[in-house]
Amino acid sequence: MGTAIQQLFDLSGRVALVTGGSRGLGLQIAEALGEAGAKVMLTSRKAADLEEAVAELSQRGIDARWIAADAANPDEARRVCRETLERLGPVDILVNNAGAAWAAPAEDHPLDGWDKVMNLNVRSVFVFSQTIARLSMIPRRQGRIINLASIAGIAGNAPWQETIAYNTSKGAVVNFTRTLAAEWGEHGINVNAIAPGFFPSRMTASTLDRVGEEAMAARAPLRRLGDDDDLKGAAVLLASQAGKHITGQILVVDGGVSCVIG
C-alpha cells in the first residue's frame, strides 16, 4: 500500500521562504503552503505590505513571518536567507517569485530598465537558490525550489506587448530551472517552475486596462483569467511529497493560452 494522499500533500513541520510574497501570486502561493501546514517567511521591499500580508495569513491560522529586503541586492538576499534560518530553522521550500517588468519597444528599451529586470528576475533567483542550497538543502540532502516563470518566457510576445526584458528573463528562468534540477538532483533537491498565464495583479494591470479583461480571457481555451486559487494546487504539489519524483519541469497554468497557435 502507498502513502495516504492527505499525507503526501501535508507540509506540517516544513519551512517555506517566499520572495515577493507580500501580494499577488507570491501571497497566493504562501497562503497555499501555509494552509498545507508549512511555516512561511515572506520577503519583499515594503514593510507595510508585508505586515498586511502576514496579518491576513495569521487570520487563516498560518504561522507567517516577514523580512523586508530588496531581493535584487545580493547582500540583502543573503541576509534574508540567513535570518530565515535563524528564526524558523532549516528551509525546506524556496519559492523564487519576486519579479519586475518593464514595457518599452525593443529599439528604445533603456539599459537601466533591462538591468533592473534581469537583476531581480534572474540574478536574485540564482542568489537565493545558491544561498539556501548551501546553508540548508545540500547539507540535509533535501529541498524543493519552485521558480516563477511565465508563458512569456516560453512563447515570446503577443503583438500588443513590448516586454523584451521581462520575456527574456522568464526564458532564462525556464532553462535555469532545468539546468539546476539536473545538477542538484544528486543532493535530493527538486527544482521546478510554474509558468502562469495572465492573472490580474499590479504587474498586469496596465495590460489588462489597455486590452480589456474580456478580450484577454477570450484568448484562452478555458475563456478565463487566473484567479486567487489557480496556483495553489500546483505549488503544493511541487512543494510536497506528492511531487517527490517531479523535477526540472515547467508547469504551465494559463487556461490553455500556450497551446493555441497564432
Catalytic status, residue 247: no
> What values do phi and psi take at 68, rounded to 5?
-80, 130
Contact 189, 143 (CB under 8 A): yes
Q: Which H helix or E strand runs over 34?
A: helix 24-35
Which residue(s) pair with 170 in the sheet? none
Collapsing DSSP states into helix, strand and coil, what is residue 249?
coil
Contact 102, 53 (CB under 8 A): no
- Catalytic residue selected from 66, 128, 166, 176: 166
Collapsing DSSP states into helix, strand and coil, what is residue 35?
helix
Task: Count CB atoms within 10 A of the CB of residue 177.
Answer: 26
Chain mean position to CA 160: 25
Give the position of cell 519579479.
Answer: 99
For Cα atoms 86, 89, 93, give the angle at the middle one, nearest 5 degrees: 120
Burial of 203-224, coded b for 16+ CB within 10 Å and e otherwise, reads: bbeebbeebeeeebbebbeeeb
Q: Which residues are catalytic, by number?
A: 166
